[in-house]
Structure 1
Amino acid sequence: MKNKSDPRVIKTKRQLKTALISLLAKQSVESLNIQCITKAAKVTRGTFYLHYTDKHDFVKKVVHDFVKDFFRSSLVDAKPFLEQKVQISEHQVQVFSLEAGFKYIATEYQTFMVLFGLTGENRFNDEIKSEFF
């Protein structure tokens, strides 16, 4: 398997994620198959299986990566917001920034619409709840 920081791997995973979100805006997870995902992403089935074991592994990892990216983008260094009197150890202190969070949501609105079931026939949010709650 290629390195996760390899630009080709990043591009392929981005294409697959984009294809998944686009397809989920129109149909349910159950109706999707690897062939329609790879066709929409313009990658081969072999390429898909280099990164994921099956459709459920793929969907789970896309959701996990999305949540991780959301929080990574929304957490900011707290030091500039603290009073100078407050001493901070050498550890970095992060806080959730609503501004950064909303910017991420604005950038990824299509993904949020799909994940929360606000588009089409999709009930993908039920799948997320069953996976994480």
Structure 2
Amino acid sequence: MRKIIDNPAGVPEPPQGRYSHVARLEIGDSVVLMLSGQVAVDDTGLDLVAPGDMRGQSERIFEIIGKILEAHGATFRDIVNIRTYLTDMDRRSEYGEIRRKYLPTEEPPTSTTVEVSRLFLPEAVIEVEVMAVMARPGAGE
């Protein structure tokens, strides 16, 4: 097994710099990508995008997730698990509208959504983490 910890170029630095965006595990012919929870930060990683806006934050989070996946040769179709943390479960449908734009409807990933009292950035209303699995490039050739 090979393990790579990464903060891909073009993705905002992790807020407070105390973690990495993705752990890439190469196991046999497969690659597992474990992404940290993502919040809707701007390109500097310092400021929250769309404070208090569930749709705006959800859109930004999926943009960031897409960039991390792409940096490792993966797509949204490779996601096998998604965990979502909302500060207000009554706003789940707003998040769902955005989520449906990105995730496949056939063979959707496993999913957990929970309500939390708050997130680490004030006015953040959502945090999303995913796990993706794909064939290792060059495997089996």
On whether the aligned pair clears a TM of 0.5, the verdict is no
In terms of fraction of residues, the more helix-rich structure is 1
TM-score by length of 1: 0.29
TM-score by length of 2: 0.28
Larger Rg: 1
